[in-house]
Amino acid sequence: MDILVLNCGSSSVKYQLYRWDQKEVLAKGIVERVTIGGSSINHYAKGKGRIKKEHECPTHREAIALITETLLDPEVGAIKDLSEIKAVGHRMVHGGEKFAKSVIIDDEALNTFKELADLAPLHNPPNIMGVEAAKEVLPDVPHCAIMDTAWHQTMPERAYIYALPYEWYEKYRVRRYGFHGTSFLYVAKRTAVLLGKDPFDTNLVLLHIGNGVSANAVRNGISVDTSMGLTPLEGLVMGTRAGDHDAAIGFYIMRKESLEPETVEKILNKKSGVLGISGKYTDRRDITEAAAKGDKRSQLAIEIESYRLKKYIGAYYAAVGKIDAITFTAGVGEMSDIIRAKALEGLEPLGIVMDPEKNKLSHTRNAETDITGKGSKVKIFVVPTDEELVMTEDTYALLQGTYDIHTNFTYSFQSRDYVNKERAEALEEELKKNPGLKDIVARIP
């Protein structure tokens, strides 16, 4: 059985095709610059390598058509006929309180997602467009929705209710929802494996650091708090999002600059974060390079982002109590030793000690690494996330009628014997160039 998963952003579509019986990735890639011109597909197929092809995609419909055409291409594709795809899993950023777990998308569910669109105006509309476009291309197979918000539905009221008029919650469901749930689910389960513990006997602080950034407090294996809120704007400093700031600033700037609310909302989401501080960059690699050359605002961007991370680690340590591990994930979390080091700097009195040399070695998306320092009471891991695998397993289980919320469901990657074949093969090649990496690969007890 082949399962296709799609992650539709406002101007991109990520995809992965997974052969369930062999437990391997057949193909994956991304279509970039959808709707904005200059579109292209970056595609990988097992045994056929990688390609990049220019192709205009004025809407998500053309992007998904391009993906299916590429998957069928005799030279670079992975299947001979679309009938080999038996189901499609879709990332849905916001499920509100309506969805506490993944679901098969019927007309009622799709209409509910449309009703929830104003809770995630930057994310749910393209997610919905992707579902509708995929249903046109693949009308005869089940389509499933995997919610970013579902993981956080275990938060207690004290964590998700804001100190605002309570009727706003009653009338409009204004509350903290949290995001990156699919990533946090994967990383929480894998961290439990690395600790050699039952997942529901683990206390963790998880840090998903990419262009979007959020922290997650996990007590006894379930989410009890998270940094993003009603929308993905709240919390940590991000690529272009402001994160935590005085809510009055928006009103102040509206008056000073005579701006409309929609304009300020766009600035807070698209022109703030490390971009707003540096004035130039969103990619942390560019910021790190500029900072090394003496660019003061890039240096400041790194300091501010890391300081905010450190504050959340401390806050969630207090919220959870004794913690077993801190785990970094996503692009920046997996690859930036500088951000990790600065985020953990000075936390030794809490029993959190990082090994600087191990941290510097940890730049891989092909292995889980242990960067814990000597004498640390808290383990420190770097775990490459795998949201696509969670989406695939949820989709398969929905088709089989075996799916349930994660507290009643066991994923394949919870096994201590689980191996990601693609990453294992890539790691072998990586070790030839960087043999020292072998010393920090996390050992499973």
Q: What are the pLDDT digits (tens) for 212-224?
A: 899 999 999 999 9
pTM of the model: 0.93
Write the pLDDT tens digit of every residue in 79-88. 999 889 999 9
pLDDT tier, 8 (very low <50, low <70, confident <90, very high otherwise): confident
pLDDT at position 121 over 80: no
Residue with tokens 């207090």: 318
* Per-residue pLDDT band at 421 (split at 50, 70, 90): confident
Tens digit of each residue's pLDDT (9 = 90 or more) over 164-191: 999 999 999 999 999 999 999 999 999 9
Q: Which CATH number fits domain 197-383: 1.10.1750.10, 3.30.420.40, 3.40.50.720, 1.10.150.120?
A: 3.30.420.40
CA–CA–CA angle 111, 39, 144 (5° rounding)? 30
pLDDT band at 387 (very low <50, low <70, confident <90, very high): very high
Q: Tell me, what amino acid is at 317?
A: Y
Q: How many CA atoms lie within 13 A of 73 on its CB side?
A: 17
2-147 and 197-383 in the same fold:
yes
Question: Are 240 and 211 spatial neighbours (Cβ–Cβ below 8 Å)?
Answer: yes
* Residue spans per domain, the chain: 2-147, 197-383
**Which pLDDT band holds residue 60 (cuts at 50, 70, 90)?**
confident
Q: How far apart are CA 128 and CA 118, in angstroms?
A: 12
Catalytic residue, candidates 2, 148, 337, 386: 148
Which of 36-40, 76-80, 129-133, 288-292 is most confident? 288-292
Q: How far is CA 80 from CA 44, 50, 147, 302, 316, in A?
A: 16, 18, 31, 47, 49
DSSP code of residue 372:
B
Cα 426 from Cα 423, distance rounded (Å): 5
Cα(287)–Cα(119) distance, integer angstroms: 31
Q: Give 347-377 pLDDT, tens digit per residue.
A: 999 999 999 999 999 999 999 999 999 999 9
Confidence category of residue 123, pLDDT binned at 50, 70, 90: confident
Does 219 or 33 have the greater pLDDT score? 219
In which band, very low, low, confident or very high, does the pLDDT at 399 lie, cut at 50, 70 and 90? Answer: very high
Fold of 2-147: Nucleotidyltransferase; domain 5 (3.30.420)
Residues 3-15, mean pLDDT to the nearest whole number: 86
pLDDT band at 97 (very low <50, low <70, confident <90, very high): confident
pLDDT of amino acid 438: 93
User: What residues contact 42, with CB distance under 8 A and at least 6 apart?
Assistant: 29, 30, 32, 50, 51, 52
**Catalytic residue flag (residue 404):** no
